[in-house]
């Protein structure tokens, strides 16, 4: 299996001097939308054909997945387990009916309920907690896609993207970002199991993992890079 991780495009949270508390679930900025459009075009030109696009329910991830879906003609699966570390704090987020109305055609995980999707609270900022969430997400991808030669695309976030790569490589939990992903930065990970590239949810076989590249930004013109 080939696993592409891509961080969402720029939001107000990524603009220096902006107070994140003013908007806990920001949309993409105009610059962020242009970054995502460039990333989607690049993947299409490379012939990347994912069987699915997985993303969390935060608006920046949904908007990024929307552009990728349009360019790559792949279904979007929305899983609250791959949101950014800390989620929405004490806010439960939108209910299922709102998501289904605003994002028609997406596949929503059963964990997105009528009363919201986020139940992690502030404790999710703890490294052990969000790394456990990363391992659980990988286990779900294994169940759905492995062992296959599928290409899977995951829209992620800065801290949680680092946690996902750490979990796949067998690294222990860390509160800092081991692996940098700038806005629309991409990583490609492959894993070898029984002669084919796939995933196995285990930290004991990390030698079978290939991190082919991390934080690739060649798709962005100079004015859209960090």
Could you tell me the CATH superfamily of domain 2-11+26-85+94-224? Phosphoglycerate mutase-like (3.40.50.1240)
Angle between helices 127-145 and 158-169 (to 10 degrees): 70
Torsion of CA 157, 163, 165, 166, to 10 degrees: 160
pLDDT at 90 over 50: yes
Spatial distance between the Cα atoms of 138 and 171, rounded to a whole number of angstroms: 14
Percent of the chain with pLDDT over 70: 92
**192: pLDDT confidence band, cut at 50, 70 and 90?**
low
**DSSP string over 181-220:** --TT-EEEEEEEETTEE---S-STTGGGEEEEEEEE-TTS
Contacts 24+ apart (CB under 8 A), 200-208: 200/142, 200/146, 201/135, 201/138, 201/139, 201/142, 203/167, 203/170, 204/170, 205/170, 206/169, 206/170
Average pLDDT over the chain reads 91
How high is the pLDDT of residue 208?
74
Neighbours of 206 (CB within 10 A): 12
**Residue ranges per structural domain of the chain:** 2-11+26-85+94-224
Residues 28-42: what's their mean pLDDT?
98
**What does the pLDDT look like over 50-72, one tens digit per residue?**
999 999 999 999 999 999 999 99
How high is the pLDDT of residue 19?
87
Neighbours of 40 (CB within 10 A): 23
How high is the pLDDT of residue 203?
44
How high is the pLDDT of residue 200?
43
Say if residues 95 and 114 touch (Cβ distance below 8 Å): yes
pLDDT at 152 over 70: yes
At which residue do the structure tokens 């196995």 appear?
200
């Amino acid at each position: 299996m080939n696993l592409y991780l891509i961080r969402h495009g720029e939001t107000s949270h990524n603009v220096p001097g902006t107070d994140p508390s003013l908007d806990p679930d920001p949309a993409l900025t105009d610059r962020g939308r242009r970054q995502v459009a460039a990333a989607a075009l690049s993947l299409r030109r490379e012939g990347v054909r994912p069987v699915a696009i997985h993303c969390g329910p935060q608006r920046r991830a949904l908007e990024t997945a929307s552009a990728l879906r349009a360019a790559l003609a792949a279904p979007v699966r929305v899983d609250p387990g791959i949101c950014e570390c800390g989620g929405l704090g004490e806010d439960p987020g939108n209910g299922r009916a709102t998501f289904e109305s605003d994002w028609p055609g997406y596949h929503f995980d059963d964990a997105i309920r009528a009363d919201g999707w986020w139940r992690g609270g502030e404790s999710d900022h703890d490294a052990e907690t969000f790394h456990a969430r990363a391992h659980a997400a990988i286990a779900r991808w294994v169940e759905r896609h492995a062992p296959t030669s599928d290409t899977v695309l995951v829209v992620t976030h800065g801290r949680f993207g680092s946690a996902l790569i750490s979990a796949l490589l067998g690294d222990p939990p860390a509160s800092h970002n081991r692996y940098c992903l700038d806005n629309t930065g991409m990583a490609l990970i492959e894993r070898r199991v029984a002669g084919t590239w796939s995933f196995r949810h285990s930290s004991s076989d990390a030698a079978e993992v290939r991190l082919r590249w991390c934080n690739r930004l060649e798709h962005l013109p100079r004015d859209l890079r960090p």
